[in-house]
Amino acid sequence: MRIRQHVNPLKSDFFGIPLAALALPAGAPVEVELGSAEAWFLMDRASEVPAGHYVGVEIRRELAWAANEESARRGLANVQCVFANMTVDLPRLFAPGSVTRFHLNFPDPWFKSRQHKRRVMSPSLVRDLQTLLAPGGEVHVATDIFELALDAMAELESPLANLAGPWTFLRQSPFQARSRRERQCHDEGTRIWRMAYRCAE
Ligand SMILES: C[S@@+](CC[C@H](N)C(=O)[O-])C[C@H]1O[C@@H](n2cnc3c(N)ncnc32)[C@H](O)[C@@H]1O
């Protein structure tokens, strides 16, 4: 199966993906990884906290399918990935107040200035996250690109409470789970910028 390296999230094909609201188990904490790729992070989380439910939102359809095949192979019924565009689709997937924690792990950097508009962190994404988070829900971001870390901090700092203190990065991940990119950074000795935010109870 051919899986593309990158797709442009602003392409019209990705603004009308047929989707239905997800049926989430009542009573289980729901964690969502935005741009989940192979969903290794979510599969690790499912091993760490088996009582949770884990959803990956991924714009590369074949990758979402492959992740679902792998989680089925591992017997992880509580990990599911959906082919969707986080820029526009989150309110169609999740009910307001239904998500315990969002993870944005290593968003695509789109280095060229003419491509910056493809970056996913934006005021409208933050508005969606605020609406969909349960009271006291959290947003965790990790990136190895300092400019993206600063952009994310600038968007999240004022509507949400920074768990490390105002304008402060987390020293280490609060999770054992590691995404594929995070493992790569670890192997290469690349610095990772992390932040965690909480919304009001
Ligand atoms: C650099 S990869 C990181 C993947 C994974 N989170 C990790 O840490 O290994 C960024 C992922 O976000 C996905 N992505 C980019 N824009 C997206 C969007 N608008 N909606 C959903 N997924 C998106 C990409 O296809 C890619 O799989």
- How many angstroms separate the alpha carbon of residue 34 from the centre of ligand 1? 7
CA–CA separation, 43 and 197 (whole Å):
22
Query: Given a cut of 80, is residue 3 above it in pLDDT?
Result: no
- How many angstroms separate the alpha carbon of residue 194 from the centre of ligand 1? 17
Q: Which of the residues are catalytic?
A: 108
Residue 2, pLDDT score: 65
Q: What's the average model confidence in pLDDT over 63-84?
A: 97
CA–CA separation, 84 and 93 (whole Å):
9
- 13 within 8 A of 87, measured Cβ to Cβ: no
> How large a percentage of the chain has pLDDT more than 70?
98
Q: Is the CB of 71 under 6 A from ligand 1?
A: no
Q: Which pair of structure tokens corresponds to residue 32?
A: 């969502």
Q: Which pair of structure tokens corresponds to residue 172?
A: 């280490």
Minimum-distance ligand 1 atom for the alpha carbon of 89: 20
Identity of the residue numbered 52: G
Q: Is the CB of 102 under 6 A from ligand 1?
A: no
In DSSP terms, 138 is beta-bridged to 101, 198
Residue 150, pLDDT score: 97
pLDDT-derived band at 156, boundaries 50, 70, 90 = very high
Q: Is the CB of 143 under 6 A from ligand 1?
A: no
Q: What's the average model confidence in pLDDT over 131-141?
A: 98
Identity of the residue numbered 111: F
Q: Is the CB of 60 under 6 A from ligand 1?
A: yes
Minimum-distance ligand 1 atom for the alpha carbon of 14: 19
Q: ∠43-155-139 over CA atoms, to 5°?
A: 25
Query: Given a cut of 80, is residue 100 above it in pLDDT?
Result: yes
